[in-house]
Amino acid sequence: PWSTPVPIGPPINTSYMHETGPSLSADGLELYFALLDTSSVFSLWVTTRASLSGPWTAPKKLPPLINNSNTVLNAGLSPDGLSLVFSSRRTGNVGNVDLWISRRADLKADWQPPVNLGNKVNTSKNDFASQILADGKTMLFSRDGKPYLTFTSKTGITTALAPRGFPDNVREPWL
């Protein structure tokens, strides 16, 4: 059974901001999340810690190539920590809210300019709330509140409505 949830607390949780859409690295040492700041725009932030029992550092806002003047949220970090998928409204979108990906060469490298995942994933609807599964090839995301799965293979990207049997809470809109 799950334990009773407890707030992460400062420096991540604050009394004056709204934190949402977390994605924890596989080793538990990096936490990406969206923060609604005083300008009423969501942006992505990261906090780190040296060990699983260590304290979280003060969160740092990701650079402008990820965070622009539009809403950016729902970070989904790949299991190897080298890809970050997020939702955004920005120039180059297929629809209203699209999924974008940024990559880095290694865990110490800077994130590269994001690339839109294109029309095999994004539609004219709201595509958001991505999570890359442990196999590194499957991504669960939401399209207007319905769960979808995307698979990558040597032949390209395939997207399909997620199978029945998902828990009811997976069907809830995540924005």
- For the chain, 175 residues long, give each residue's pLDDT as a single digit of tens: 889 988 888 899 887 778 888 999 999 999 999 998 777 788 999 999 999 999 999 999 999 999 987 888 888 999 999 999 999 988 888 888 899 999 999 999 999 999 998 887 888 888 888 888 887 777 888 887 777 776 665 555 665 555 544 444 443 332 2
- Its pTM stands at 0.83
Peptide bond into 10 cis (omega under 30): no
Q: What is the pLDDT of residue 161?
A: 57
- The closest alpha carbon to 157, from 148, 166, 146, belongs to 148
Q: What is the pLDDT of residue 110?
A: 95
Q: What is the pLDDT of residue 170?
A: 40
Let me know: does 140 contact 154? Beta carbons within 8 Å. no
Compute the C-alpha angle 100/104/108, nearest 5°: 140
d(CA 33, CA 50) in angstroms, rounded, equals: 18
Q: What is the pLDDT of residue 131?
A: 84
d(CA 35, CA 30) in angstroms, rounded, equals: 16
